[in-house]
Amino acid sequence: MNFKTFYRTSPLRIWLIVISSILQPFILITTSYLNMLQISALRNHNQKAWLTIIIVSLLAYLSSYFCDMSASYLLATHMREFNQQLREKVLRHLYDEKRNYQVTEVENQLTNDLNMVNDQYFNLLPTICVFLGYIIFSVIALLTINWTLLLITLLTVLISMLLPKLIDKPIQRAMENVSIKNRQYLDLVEKWLGGIAELQRYAAGDHLMSVMHLGAKRLEEAKLRQNAKQQILSIITGSISQVMIFALFVWTGVLIKKDIVPFGAIAVIGNFSHYMSTGIEYLPYYLGLIKGTSVLREQITRATLPMKNHSESESSEVPFSFKTKNLTIKFQNGETLKFPDIEIDYGEKILLTGDSGAGKSTLFKLILNFLEPSSGQIEFKNQNGEIINPDLTKIGYIAQNSILFPSTVKRNITMFNDNLNNLAEIAGKEMDLQADNTAFVQGLNTKINLQKLNISGGQRQKIILARAQVHHSNILLIDEGTSAIDQTATLKILHQLLQRPNTIIFIAHNFNQRMNNLFDREIHLNK
């Protein structure tokens, strides 16, 4: 993620931004140079020349504003297109990586980190061009007046460019710290405000405010430290700028006294020194900000790289059955779960029960490779009973807290595959969704509102079960898939599910004997 990728978004637009930005200081400095001729014309009582220069100067100032506005508009257009492409690459990377990300981690990457890089890197393109133009054109103007003025300027520029080297690493560390604290704060918001209803129930508002205040304070302190480092850089470069202004005025006075430069130079040297000092003060400062984004840009670059398609190098097959051998997993807190050896044939209907904390849900995550086992292995087999490299995306999974999206009930069932619309209607009936007509006024075309929660927990589970029905999998893992559904509806749903030929492993702890008898066998895990 650098100016090269930024440039490739639209090379023509970048050139227009650069040209418009450079024209602005060129016009302003040329106009200031004309002021010297204007004073000479006024001193010689040449009113026609004096008036002509005033009109030309006015038109020049207007054209300078036009260049400024054009560069700003073109940059905003370019940034919108570039950010859109960048976010698409990040989302594609996240999708293809198949790793469980925290929502706050992704939010921070797509918003705060990207905005910081935009503000302190890409958005500085016209600013850098303007300040660079101030220095270059001021140097040319001063050279035409007297070369010694140029010598003083070049010496000052050299010093001011080297000084920021002393502080660019602290600025870089401060920026990284802001990103970390912002990510921690977003994580705090997600974890605590996600349970605000529970906090309200137990009147724990004071503790909520205390926790959120502490998180916000840490974030603001990180921003304050970053701002302090930036201010130090500004003070260093600003001091050099003031020394330069003083030197230019003193030396110009000496040259005028010796009749080496015209008297009008004293009137315009102030403008040149202002443009020059502005360029010298802010150009190194903004270059320091750009240098400070290097680590953050590298992080975003890694998040935009396309993932390698392993399916091309490693052939995978659809699994039909599996077995576990000596499977264990050790957690960071020191707890270890050991699982019995399990062998499940294709088409079996298994009820998985066990003590709380025995690892029922963990076993599912190991099967799906969401977690890595500490020891042991899981062998998958194809329809012929041969050991295979499995395509784990073909294993159906219904988690305890399955995800719904802010779309229609039907599209949540089909997962946005319109070819499955007819199957969604059938699955909806099998999962008894027609009994919820009072909630689904428009049937399966009712839009789910995740903000107002216009569906119950039982309705949510029915939709997820219908999703599993239409996306047929040879192996289906269901974790408490009917816990929020009444027993009558659960029994009806189980009859529909278990008559299918695929392998089903169902975690449940509140089934009655009649429900248990629907399964081929029960596997009980002990803690």
Q: What is the pTM of this model?
A: 0.60
For residue 311, the model assigns a pLDDT of 45
Q: Could you say which of 1.20.1560.10, 3.40.50.300, 3.40.190.10, 3.40.50.10680 is the CATH number of the domain covering 3-304? A: 1.20.1560.10
3-state secondary structure of 118: helix
For residue 377, the model assigns a pLDDT of 92
Give the CATH class of 321-525: alpha beta
**Hey, how many other C-beta atoms are within 10 angstroms of the C-beta on 506?**
25
Nearest 5°: the CA angle 76, 80, 82 is 115
Using a 10 angstrom Cβ sphere, with 0-12 exposed, 13-18 middle and 19 or more buried, the burial of residue 354 is middle
* CA distances in angstroms from 347 to 363, 377, 504, 519, listed in the order given: 19, 22, 7, 11
Tell me where in the chain the CATH 3.40.50.300 domain(s) lie. 321-525
Distance (Å, whole) CA 295 – CA 173:
9
For residue 111, the model assigns a pLDDT of 78
- What backbone torsions phi and psi does residue 276 show, to the nearest 5 degrees? -65, -45
Closest by CA to 296, choosing from 133, 474, 176, is 176
For residue 160, the model assigns a pLDDT of 63
Angle between helix axes 168-193 and 294-304 (nearest 10 degrees) is 50
Name the region of 369 (left: φ>0; alpha: ψ -120 to 50; beta: rest). Answer: left
Q: How many CA atoms lie within 13 A of 232 on its CB side?
A: 15
The secondary structure of 490-510, three-state, reads: HHHHHHHHHCCCCEEEEECCC
For residue 350, the model assigns a pLDDT of 94
DSSP-assigned beta bridge partners for residue 478: 398, 506
Nearest 5°: the CA angle 62, 66, 67 is 120
3-state secondary structure of 390: strand
For residue 200, the model assigns a pLDDT of 74
> Which residues have C-beta within 8 Å of that of residue 35, sequence separation ≥ 6?
53, 57, 264, 267, 268, 271
For residue 13, the model assigns a pLDDT of 93
Nearest 5°: the CA angle 393, 522, 339 is 65
DSSP-assigned beta bridge partners for residue 322: 344, 380
For residue 152, the model assigns a pLDDT of 77
For residue 157, the model assigns a pLDDT of 64
* CA distances in angstroms from 231 to 171, 200, 225, 236, 248, listed in the order given: 10, 43, 10, 9, 26
161-164 — which CB contacts under 8 Å span 24+ positions?
161/283, 161/284, 161/287, 163/236, 163/237, 163/240, 163/284, 164/233, 164/236, 164/237, 164/284, 164/285, 164/287, 164/288, 164/291
Distance (Å, whole) CA 500 – CA 66:
71
Residue 320 is given by DSSP the state -
Tell me where in the chain the CATH 1.20.1560.10 domain(s) lie. 3-304
Question: Residue with structure tokens 């650098």?
Answer: 2
For residue 98, the model assigns a pLDDT of 65
Mean pLDDT by 10 residues, the chain (527 residues): 84 94 91 80 80 88 92 92 87 75 72 80 88 88 82 71 66 81 84 75 81 89 85 75 75 82 73 76 80 81 72 69 93 88 93 89 91 92 90 86 85 89 87 69 82 78 86 89 84 86 89 90 89
Distance (Å, whole) CA 218 – CA 188:
12
For residue 167, the model assigns a pLDDT of 61
Alpha helix positions (H), 98-204: 103-108, 114-120, 125-145, 147-162, 168-193, 196-201
Closest by CA to 145, choosing from 67, 32, 51, is 32
